[in-house]
Every structure is written in structure tokens, then in C-alpha cells.
Amino acid sequence: MWISTTLDSFSTVLPLLLIISTLLAAVLLRPLRGTIDNVRTVDIPSVTRSSASSTYSRASGTSSPTKGNPSIAGGPSPKWWIVTMMNVVLSGAFGFSVFLFFSESPNSHYAPVVWSLCIAYFLGFFGISFVDTDGLQHSPSTYGLSDLVPDLNPSTSGGPSSTTVPESNKNNDSNNGNDIHPVCGVPKMPTSPSSPNLVSKSGTMKPTAKTRGMIKSMTNPDIASMVKNGEIKDHMLEKTLEDYERAVNVRRMVFDEKLPPSSLNDLPSGPSLDYSRVFGANCEIVVGYVPIPVGMCGPLMLNKETVFIPMATTEGCLVASTNRGCKAITMSGGANSYLLKDGITRAPCLECDNAGEAASLAAFVESDDGFKELKDSFESTTSFGKLVSAAPTVAGRNVYLRLKCFAGDAMGMNMVSKGTLASVAVVTSRFPSVKLVALSGNMCTDKKASAVNWIEGRGKSVVIECVVRKEVVEKVLKTTVDAIVHVNIQKNLIGSAMSSAVGGFNAHAANNVTAVFLATGQDPAQNVESSNCITLMSKEPNGDLHMTCTMPSIEVGTVGGGTSLPAQSACLKAIGVKGGGKTPGANAQKLAHVVAGAVMAGELSLLAALAANTLVAAHMTHNRKPQAAK
């Protein structure tokens, strides 16, 4: 009976006892927290700034200058006697309470109180231990794909290594890191600098005034190491360092190790432009230049290859949003892009004496012999260009002759225009009364919205596809598959149809096309036709999201025009498509796939934001800044 009464009393007061005992445990364990922090400081291998003889090495077992040194470790040595004393006291109290409970003592009702204290002590100590153990873990990547690239986890690569920075190089900000590209092999993950209490449970930096001060005192290579290890998010550098130029320099160090060697050498981060490169090639009557920020999205797994995508834009949130899309696609296994057609077009306007002559001219062009004559004349003007087709369109006595040319790695406008003049010469020799009204008759169609580009294609015609896992949609994109599919149908398909859009069945393809075009030296005006895109989404039987973007007229090149300027050339090099490819057209075609990948990532992220109704909040965060005080 007394046992039942005691248990009833215990169940009645248990919640109150647990609250009181938990608070008591927190107070008792507070001194221990500092000792555990000190242990973490000692155990994390550090990048020392002293002579090589004082460098700590796990392999050699030599002592570290931080070990046992309160001034470096950040506090006194651990006071383990506190733990021992508390264990002895609570163990004795627990044993005595059990004796009271079973001895039918008048004081047996105190036993549940003692048990509650013991439970709270155990849970409190376990919680502190868990937090500190978790804090020692390093993120295996800067974008959180630990399940995708487990080999990048330093814990599986043989343990951390120590790095000695001689005193003479203490303030040297040059990057002496690994040059291995992540596509070609797994890069080394250098041990981050000594950084006690800088990381949270997730392994990333806690943005406090204290941690900002400690990080700002480090050298740029040390901070770059922390970014590579995931201890600082790369997008937090400006807020952490409170120095925009330094943040850019540190971020360049990080990407120097992710991208092919020296990719960013010619991409300026300061005010500089070689005007000798501009004169006679890119601009006339030059008075200066307009700097546009370049952000780097990715990595994006595209056609089983990891790529980073440079985007030049002044629209806040665009790069961040596209980067989120890249993450979701890559976490789900990546995207596959396919080339459907490749050919740049020019359509001269030819005026005949009458409609009958126009019909005869069209018949000649469509005949095998007539096309062969046009082709031979066209290809005599170029080493790479190949005439693919000639399609006449008759309007009264006018003939619009749409010639399609394979241009290799060039975008090809100059090439096709030059060849078109030679083909027109063949036509006028056959039909002497025919007059060339204009080399471009607007059926090309260049830099204008048109159904002919949407249907027949121009430049590179590409379709890109991916399947985004259901859990990735929910965790990364913060919405559901059903919601995002519904938004795509109502907005991109029905909404665009109601507006009579031509090639505009998408959310904002032009945003990503233009940003990549500006970064890589393409003709930004050609974003009009290059942004033709239809985005389709559907729910798979297993609940995943199937997504495609079909883009029939991406006009890009990797040689000629703006691609020769240093900064734009650097961005092409970062992608891995600078100059001509091993086979004609290979680099330009890969660039078209990258453009399509950027569009897909941007479409995915924006549609998710619309489905979750977070678009405005995101833009208020990334695209608004308080006015500077006057």
C-alpha cells in the first residue's frame, strides 16, 4: 500500500520536480562547460605561426604549443575533480535514497526527489557532452552535400594534417592550397586554424561579435581554410569580416582550389580594365567601363560532371536562388542535357520582279543541285562554317532565304553573314533581276521575339532534364512536389498562354541567360531569343519531381567577340570552355548546356519560392539595403 501511495505521489509531483532539478543541474554543471570548451581548444589541431619545431603533429606525437598553455588554449586546464566529486556525491545520495525507499522509513518520500536529481544530472551532462562532441565535427563540403560526396569528409581521409606557417609569411595572403579540381579528383581538405568555440552544432560559425573579432584577426589563407572546411559559409564572409574587398579576396582563394588552376587570374576584383583589348574590337568612343558583380553558382552536377556557373548581375537574390536550385538538383543526382540542333541563321530579303520569279527562286533553292551550289559558295568563305540548310519563304515577290550554318565554337553571326553574301551571289547570277534588299530580312530572327526561332530553333537547341527527390524538395526548397507542379501549370503554362507568349512558357529564364551571357562575353541582346524556354514539371509515381526545360535557340560561342576580354575569358575558363574545343563546336555546345543548367536551377528555385510564398521575403533580405547615412 505504501509503495502505491508513494508512486502516486511521485507521478503527481514529477513534472515539477523535473523542472526544478533540471535548472539545478544546469547551475551545477555550468563550471564544467568551460572545462569542456578548453578540451576542444586543445584537441583541435591548429595552424601554428611559429617555427616548424613547435608544430603539433598527430603522426609524430610531438607536443603542441597550445597544449597545456592557458594563454593559447583560451583558459585554465580542465578541472576534472568537479566531475569526480559530483559523481561520488550523487552516487551516494542515490544509494541512500534506495535504502530509505525499501526500509519503510518516514522519510522515504524524499527518494523520488533524489532520483529526479540524478536523472537531470545524467541528462544535463549527456546533453553538454553531445553538443561539444558534435561541435568538433567538420562539414564535408561548403554546400552541405555530405551524403553525396562522403570522400571529402576529412575524418575519412586519414585524419587532419598540420600546416606550419613561418613567421616571415605570417601576413602573406597568397594561396598555397591544393590545385586539384573537384571534377578530376578529391581535393585535400586542409586543417582549419585554431578556432575555439567558433562553430555551432551544424559545424558552421556562430556569427557573434566575439567570433567575428577572432576570425578578422586571422590571415586570409586561414579564413579560406575555414570556408573550405564548412566552418564558415562563403556567403557569410562579408558579414563576418566586415570588409567587402577582403571577403572577395578570401572567396577567390576558395574558388581557386575548386576551379581549374588559374581560372580566375584574369577576372578582376579591383578597378582595372585593359583598354587596349577593347579598342577596335568591343566598343568605340570609350570613356570607362561599368563593373558588374560576378557571383559563382554551384557546384551543379551536369551530364555527370561538376560545373560552377559564373553569373554577372546586379539583381540581388538571383545568384543565391540559382545556387539553391543547383544544390537541390545535385543532391538528387544531377541533370542531363541533350543537344537537338546546332546552327546559326541569316535570312536575307531578296526582291524579284514578280511572284512567279519568286516561286522559281524558291524551287531552285530547294532542289538538290541548287542547294549544292549555295553550299559550295557559302563554305568557300570560312574554314569552320558548314551550310546546313536553306529554307525560302515567299511573301508576294519577296523571298526570305533562311540559311542555317554550323559555326563551330563561334556564335557565328559574322561567319554566317559573310557566307550569306556569297550564296546570294549565286542566286543573283541565276536570276539577274533579283535584288538584295537587306542582308537580314528579320526572318533570321536576331534579337527579336519570333515564332520561327521558337519552332525551328536558332543557335543551339537544348533540352535538359532532372528528377528532384521528394525529400530534397521539402528540405531544401521548403515546399511540396504537388505545390510546385501546381504553380508551374497555372503560371508557366496557362498564364503564358493567356498572355499569348511566344517562347515565354517559363518563370524567368531570361534572368539566368542574361547573367551567364554577361559573365562569359556573349551578346547580351541575344538573350531575347536565347531565353525561349518551356518549363515542364510532373510528379513521378514515387512522389519525386520530374522537370525539363526545352530551349530551342541558345546563341553562344567560346571564341570571338566579347569572349576575348580577360574577365569574360576567365569566366569561360572557370566553366572549362575557353577557346576552341578538341572537336569543332564542343566548347560552345557545352556552354549551351551550362546556360540551360543555370536556367533550370533558377526556374526550380523561383517556382519553389512562389509555391511557398517566400519570394518577397527573400528579396527583402537579399535585394534591399538601408540607405547610407548622409
- Sign of the alpha-carbon torsion through 63, 65, 71, 74: negative
Q: How far apart are CA 479 and CA 302, in angstroms?
A: 24
Residue appearing with cell numbers 547573367 = 515
Query: What contacts 264, CB < 8 A, 6 or more positions away?
Result: 252, 255, 256, 570, 574
Active-site residue among 341, 486, 619, 622? 619
Exposed (0-12), middle (13-18) or buried (19+): which is 157, by Cβ within 10 Å? Answer: middle
DSSP 69: -
Count Cα neighbours of 74 within 13 Å in the Cβ-side half-sphere.
17
What count of other Cβ atoms lies within 10 Å of the Cβ of residue 232?
29
Q: Residue 513 in 3-state DSSP?
A: helix
| CA nearest to 144, candidates 296, 331, 333, 335 | 331
What are 384-392's contacts with CB under 8 Å, separation 24+?
384/408, 384/409, 384/410, 384/415, 384/584, 385/412, 385/415, 385/416, 385/419, 387/419, 387/423, 388/343, 389/343, 390/365, 390/366, 390/423, 391/456, 392/361, 392/362, 392/365, 392/366
| CA nearest to 605, candidates 323, 234, 332, 301 | 323
Annotation says 523 is catalytic: yes
Annotation says 8 is catalytic: no
Q: How far apart are CA 182 and CA 258, in angstroms?
A: 6
| CA nearest to 515, candidates 288, 290, 267, 297 | 297
Q: How far apart are CA 558 and CA 460, in angstroms?
A: 13
Angle between helices 220-228 and 244-258 (to 10 degrees): 60
User: Cβ(555)–Cβ(345) under 8 Å?
Assistant: no
Annotation says 619 is catalytic: yes
Active-site residue among 235, 386, 447, 622? 447
Residue appearing with cell numbers 522515504 = 108
What are 5-11's contacts with CB under 8 Å, separation 24+?
6/101, 6/108, 6/109, 6/111, 6/112, 9/109, 9/112, 10/112
Reported residue count of the chain is 630
Annotation says 622 is catalytic: no
Q: Residue 399 in 3-state DSSP?
A: strand
Helices (runs of H) and strands (runs of E) counted in the chain: 22, 11
Active-site residue among 173, 315, 357, 379? 315
User: Cβ(611)–Cβ(484) under 8 Å?
Assistant: yes
Torsion angles phi and psi, residue 359, rounded to 5 = -65, -40
User: Cβ(611)–Cβ(479) under 8 Å?
Assistant: yes
Angle between helices 509-520 and 566-575 (to 10 degrees): 120
Active-site residue among 523, 539, 546, 622? 523
Q: Quote the Cα angle for 449-450-454, to 5°.
A: 105
Q: Where are the alpha helices (DSSP H) in 63-110?
A: 70-73, 80-102
Please list the active-site residues: 315, 447, 523, 619
